[in-house]
Amino acid sequence: MSYKRYYLFIFLILGIISLVQPASAEEEKNIYEERLSLYKKTEALTQIPWYYIAAIDQYERQVQKGLEDDQLISIKIPEELWYGIGNSSQKKDTQIINLFSGKGKDGNDDKLADPNDPEDILYTMANLILEYGQTEEDIRIGIWNYYKRDLAVHTIKNTAKVFKKFQDINLTDRDFPVAINYNYSYRNTWGDRRGFGGNRIHEGTDIFADYGTPVKSTTYGVVELKGWNLYGGWRIGIRDIYNIYHYYAHLSGYEDEVKVGQIVKPGDILGSVGSTGYGPPGTSGKFPPHLHYGMYKDNGYSEWSFDPYPYLKKWERMARNK
């Protein structure tokens, strides 16, 4: 075989391998860049800040079922709202949609309002919000009138705050919830029985460590709750940009700057390991010091606990490889 034929053969083999490999990190980065470009274009057309548009899309990405991993835009506006009641043939012509009082808009000047076109979807959603005004308060009122759910408004507002602060939507870093240079141990304790306060299941993983071991944020998010709880003692709740609530309990104390409404990122210190809880404020020492770490998912209708252990194992590996 000649050198030319040999190198051609190698080139073809490498090309075939590239076709069957899963999406690369570069491809994943590109979809974030494409989304951000669309959000900013919609902002230019409507003056609705891009980070609110991005936060709405992010919220829908978490609550919609059956989405493809590489779906560019996840917002799905109900057909009767898009086309208008009476437009049974679902004509996409903007004049016909307007005739039937539909809300679908043309975001790319092709004279059509297509509920499967990313630009049309974002432009339409932004205009639904614009019906209530352009101020921050107007935007939140518009979001509430669309979703009719306080938690949806709260989640979208906080996600928008995170996107605005970091000027990015590709926020995929994570960290382990206790400092890995300290001694600690844990196993899967989610679902175990608990007796204090009546029979109930354990909604988290216990990470045992010495008093004072730093407790860290695992994710990008906003501090939603801080204070005493009968079961959890001194605790903190953070809602992240994936509509997941992260619950840290039994702390011995808080980092000085931590407050409700604060934006956090992976690795930010929240407080330290303790053994508080199972009694009135200040109760401590009824069990060995540990961090109770719980995760709760919201699907747009209800919120439930799920097992954090597999995520902790993954984030622990990520932290050790930094």
Taking the C-alpha atoms of residue 319 and residue 130, their distance in angstroms, rounded to an integer, is: 43
pLDDT higher than 90, residue 4: no
Q: What percent of the chain has pLDDT over 90?
A: 77
Question: Which run of H or E residues covers position 184?
Answer: strand 184-186
Confidence of residue 2 (pLDDT cuts 50, 70, 90): very low
Amino acid identity, residue 135? T
pLDDT 10s digits, 23-49: 555 666 799 999 999 999 999 999 999
- 20 exposure class (CB count in 10 Å sphere: 0-12, 13-18, 19+): exposed
Closest CA to 268 of 297, 298, 246: 246
Query: CB neighbours of 204 closer than 8 A, spacing ≥ 6?
Result: 189, 190, 247, 249, 292, 293, 294, 295, 305, 308
Tokens at residue 253, please? Answer: 């104390």
Q: What is the pLDDT of residues 69-108, one digit of tens each?
A: 689 999 999 999 999 998 888 999 999 999 999 999 999 9
Alpha carbon distance 240, 36 (integer Å): 19
pLDDT in tens, 226-260: 999 998 999 999 999 999 999 999 999 999 989 99
Q: How far apart are CA 156 and CA 167, in angstroms?
A: 16
Is residue 14 scored above 80 in pLDDT? Answer: no
What superfamily would CATH give domain 184-320? Glucose Permease (Domain IIA) (2.70.70.10)
pTM of the prediction? 0.86
Provide the pLDDT for residue 305: 85
Q: What is the mean pLDDT of residues 196-207?
A: 69
Give the start-to-end residue ranges of the domains of the chain. 25-166, 184-320
